[in-house]
């Protein structure tokens, strides 16, 4: 009876996925920021450009308005305890620029929240400050701790630009130009709207806000250092500006976006304008078109949002692999179509990732539909899982071999894997006096990337823990287990995600399931299971770096926990069966079980909802449960 129920759930999910595939072989689900930073930034950008795209602005504005909470503020995740000042400030000015009056009830309530939270001088997001500064609503800093001439430091220097993570570099380069140029792109007929946020945000207070953003322990040293490298001849300063400009231009994707991120693209447009590019310059026009291409209509509420990027390669590879685990044969037309789509997006050119790699050979995959130069570890292993069943074809076999070699070449010296680049965890960068530098400025090894890479290497590629590079990764995971038995995940929420990745990886490469560390992790998962059989973790875990229960169960987190337990359990237990029943009972529900943002981007500031996750992960967990425990012949 139970087997029939599980199989019925699997069949339903498989059929749903097959029906959602697009003509090019991909699956295109929403990659949606729970908050409103990107939407607000888009409105501010378009109005600063004098754009006549009134319908686009109005449609995005409607979503921003819908996200305002009863207390008048905005939040970046559902259960954030109090209004988020940065999000509320961004939304306030975006709505003003979209045409709302300061006397509108929603605006009055938002203004009160900003004042109650201490005013704009308490804004703690560097991105928020830059977004407001370019439209004249926040003063540029009199002194910025990373000068534009920082771009000229050679890679042989103890500290240099390429020690920032790839994600940080494409945001920092335009930021450095903007901090140097200090533009104000507010259209004349709406200038001065800062006056509607009274005295809590005077010039002196706002300058103090910049100073408060910088780490005071390093300020004296950095000020002297900055003075030294900024007192270069004028020609050198011009070199730095042109170097930053060229760095940006060289990393524009075919769709016009910078590294395929909208957040960096917005900063790029502002930066290029600040050095003389006209609003109708082809580079800016193409960038705006790329931005518009990421418009997405949220099926839950029919509201429009701009995605920060697309998750097409990620979703397609995960779905193809999951369908195969669920029993869809590798020669099924759907799997073949997705294989064609994925193999066409393998990277063939060099990029910034190669700087720390000996004898670099391209072969990875990126996250989005248009990513051609920024491959990442997780997408590469995901695609390699998806095309493994197609390796009888020499084209796929060659692609898979290249992908595997690229993946192995990206292992960090400490034994782990990071998201994008090898050995990008400089302690010198962490000394820069920028608040939050540890969250995004570097790209260190993480439990989720290391665990998922091991899972691919062990389960799909057949590589086990007798190999030295596997042993080093296993050791890294054991050394980074939390005291309570969990692991922290960087790109998902958060300890459930990290623990799932670590356990499935360790089991796949042959670690004994009676190891003390694995038993401790199992006990931790049992302890955080909810009464309804599911699992749910708050985004607050990511911000506070300790496990915080959500109070409700979500489909993706329940599936991660269940899949972790399956990987280390010889037989199912009651707790696992309760998790299975939770998944089966809540499939396709449109509430917090499927809509809670379980993707992490920037702790405390940006979290994402993958529309695919409430389908992919339950199907994978159910398929693995069936394959291991319910089929008489196993897998």
Residues 90-103 pLDDT 10s = 999 999 999 999 99
Q: Is residue 11 pLDDT above 80, yes or no?
A: yes
- Neighbouring CB atoms inside 10 A of 274's CB total 20
Fold for the domain defined by 31-306 = Glycosyltransferase (1.50.10)
Residues 451-496 pLDDT 10s = 999 999 999 999 999 999 999 999 999 999 999 999 999 999 999 9
Q: Is residue 634 pLDDT above 80, yes or no?
A: no
* Stretch 384-389: mean pLDDT: 99
Question: Which pLDDT does position 433 carry in this prediction?
Answer: 56
The number of C-alpha atoms within 13 Å of 156 and in the hemisphere containing its C-beta is 0
Residues 442-451 pLDDT 10s = 999 999 999 9
Rounded (5°) CA angle 70-74-75: 110
Question: Which pLDDT does position 145 carry in this prediction?
Answer: 79
Task: Say what angle helices 574-586 and 555-568 make with each other, to 10 degrees.
Answer: 150
Q: Please pick, among 352, 376, 378, 611, the residue that the annotation labels catalytic.
A: 378
- Cα 613 from Cα 35, distance rounded (Å): 18
Confidence of residue 437 (pLDDT cuts 50, 70, 90): low
CB 454 within 8 A of CB 505: yes
- Long-range contacts of 104-110, Cβ-Cβ distance < 8 Å, separation of 24 or more: 106/65, 106/68, 106/72, 107/196, 109/68, 109/71, 109/72, 110/68, 110/72, 110/73, 110/74
- Cα 403 from Cα 371, distance rounded (Å): 16
Q: Domain coordinates of the chain in residue numbers?
A: 1-30+481-635, 31-306
Residues 578-595 pLDDT 10s = 999 999 999 999 888 999
Instruction: Name residues whose C-beta falls within 8 Å of residue 579's C-beta, 6 or more positions apart in sequence.
Output: 529, 533, 534, 535, 558, 561, 562, 565, 621
- Cα 299 from Cα 397, distance rounded (Å): 38
User: Is the dihedral angle over the CA atoms 457, 458, 462, 466 positive or is it negative?
Assistant: positive
- Burial grade of 69 (CB within 10 A; 0-12, 13-18, 19 or more): middle
- Tell which residue, 324, 295, 331, 445, has the closest CA to residue 383: 324
- Cα 498 from Cα 286, distance rounded (Å): 38
Q: Which of 158-162, 358-362, 518-522 has the least mean pLDDT?
A: 158-162
Q: Which residue has the tokens 């692991």?
A: 487
CB 380 within 8 A of CB 127: no
Task: Tell me, yes or no, if 352 is annotated catalytic.
Answer: no
Confidence of residue 229 (pLDDT cuts 50, 70, 90): low
Question: Which pLDDT does position 635 carry in this prediction?
Answer: 44
- In sequence order, the β-bridge partners of residue 602 are 606
Q: What is the CATH number of domain 1-30+481-635?
A: 1.50.10.20
Residues 281-331 pLDDT 10s = 999 999 999 999 999 998 778 899 999 999 999 999 999 999 999 999 999
Q: Which tokens is 597 given? A: 């943002």
CB 410 within 8 A of CB 443: no
Of 82 and 440, which is predicted with more confidence?
A: 82
Question: Which pLDDT does position 301 carry in this prediction?
Answer: 80
Does 31-306 match 1-30+481-635 at the fold level?
yes
Of 58 and 52, which is predicted with more confidence?
A: 58
Question: Which pLDDT does position 233 carry in this prediction?
Answer: 63
* Stretch 383-402: mean pLDDT: 98
User: Is the dihedral angle over the CA atoms 297, 67, 614, 15 positive or is it negative?
Assistant: negative
Q: Which tokens is 299 given? A: 């099926």
- Cα 136 from Cα 253, distance rounded (Å): 29
Q: Which tokens is 364 given? A: 């990875």
CA dihedral 445→451→457→458, nearest 10 degrees, is 150
CB 438 within 8 A of CB 446: no
- Cα 280 from Cα 277, distance rounded (Å): 8
Rounded (5°) CA angle 90-610-365: 105
User: Is the dihedral angle over the CA atoms 338, 8, 493, 113 positive or is it negative?
Assistant: positive
Can you spell out the DSSP letters for 448-489? Answer: HHHHHHHHIIIIIS---TTSHHHHHHHHHHHHT--TTS----
Q: Is residue 211 pLDDT above 60, yes or no?
A: no
CB 386 within 8 A of CB 400: no
Residues 339-355 pLDDT 10s = 999 999 999 999 999 99
Query: What does the DSSP 8-state code read for residue 554?
Result: E
Residues 166-187 pLDDT 10s = 999 999 999 999 999 999 998 7
Question: Which pLDDT does position 198 carry in this prediction?
Answer: 47
């Amino acid at each position: 009876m139970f087997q029939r129920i599980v199989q019925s759930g699997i069949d339903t999910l498989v059929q749903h996925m097959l029906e959602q595939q697009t003509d090019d072989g991909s699956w295109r689900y929403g990659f949606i920021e729970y908050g409103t930073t990107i939407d607000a930034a888009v409105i501010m950008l378009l109005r600063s450009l004098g754009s006549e795209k009134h319908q686009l602005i109005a449609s995005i504005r409607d979503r921003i308005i819908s996200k305002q909470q009863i207390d008048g503020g905005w939040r970046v995740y559902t259960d954030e305890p109090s209004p988020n000042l940065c999000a509320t400030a961004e939304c306030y000015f975006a709505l003003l620029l979209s045409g709302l009056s300061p006397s509108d009830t929603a605006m009055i309530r938002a203004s009160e929240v900003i004042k109650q939270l201490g005013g704009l001088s308490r804004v703690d997001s560097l991105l928020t400050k830059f977004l407001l500064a370019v439209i004249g609503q926040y003063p540029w800093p009199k002194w910025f701790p990373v000068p534009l001439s920082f771009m000229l430091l050679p890679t042989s220097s103890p500290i240099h630009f390429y020690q920032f993570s790839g994600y940080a570099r494409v945001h920092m380069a335009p930021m450095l130009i903007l901090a140097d140029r200090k533009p104000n792109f507010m259209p004349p007929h709406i200038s001065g709207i800062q006056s509607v946020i009274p005295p809590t945000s005077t010039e002196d207070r706002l300058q103090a806000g910049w100073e408060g953003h910088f780490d005071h322990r390093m300020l004296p040293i950095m000020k002297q250092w900055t003075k030294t490298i900024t007192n270069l001849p004028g020609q050198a300063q011009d070199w730095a500006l042109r170097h930053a400009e060229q760095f940006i231009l060289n990393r524009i994707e075919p769709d016009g976006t910078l590294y395929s991120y909208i957040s960096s693209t917005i900063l790029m447009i502002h930066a290029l304008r600040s050095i003389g590019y006209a609003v109708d310059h082809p580079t800016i026009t193409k960038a705006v078109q790329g931005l518009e291409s990421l418009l997405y209509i949220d099926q839950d509420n029919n509201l429009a949002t701009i995605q920060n990027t697309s998750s097409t390669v990620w979703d397609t590879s995960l779905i193809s692999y999951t369908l195969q685990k669920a029993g869809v044969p590798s020669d099924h037309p759907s799997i073949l179509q997705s294989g064609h789509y994925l193999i066409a997006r393998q990277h063939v050119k060099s990029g910034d990732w190669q700087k720390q790699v000996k004898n670099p050979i391209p072969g990875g995959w990126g996250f989005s539909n248009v990513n051609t130069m920024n491959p990442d570890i997780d997408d590469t292993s995901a695609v390699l899982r998806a095309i493994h069943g197609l390796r009888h074809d020499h084209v796929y076999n060659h692609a898979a071999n290249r992908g595997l070699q690229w993946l192995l070449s990206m292992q960090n010296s400490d034994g782990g894997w990071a998201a994008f680049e090898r050995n990008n965890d400089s302690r010198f960068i962490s000394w820069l006096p920028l608040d939050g530098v540890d969250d995004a400025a570097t790209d260190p090894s993480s439990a989720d990337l290391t665990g998922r890479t091991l899972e691919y290497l062990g389960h799909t590629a057949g590589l086990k823990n007798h190999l030295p590079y596997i042993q080093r990764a296993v050791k890294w995971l054991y050394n980074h287990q939390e005291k309570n038995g969990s692991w922290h995940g960087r790109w998902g929420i958060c300890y459930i995600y990290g623990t799932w990745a670590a356990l499935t990886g360790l089991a796949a490469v042959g670690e004994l399931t009676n190891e003390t560390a694995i038993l401790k992790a199992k006990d931790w998962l049992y302890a955080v299971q909810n009464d309804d059989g599911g699992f749910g973790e708050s985004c607050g875990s990511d911000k506070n770096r300790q496990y915080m229960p959500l109070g409700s169960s979500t489909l993706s987190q329940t599936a991660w926990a269940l899949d972790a337990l399956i990987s280390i359990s010889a037989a199912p237990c009651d707790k696992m069966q309760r998790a299975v029943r939770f998944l089966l009972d809540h499939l396709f529900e449109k509430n917090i079980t499927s809509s809670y943002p379980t993707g992490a981007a920037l702790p405390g500031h940006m979290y994402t909802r993958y529309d695919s996750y409430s389908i992919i992960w339950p199907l994978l967990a159910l398929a693995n449960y069936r394959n291991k425990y319910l089929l008489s012949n196993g897998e």
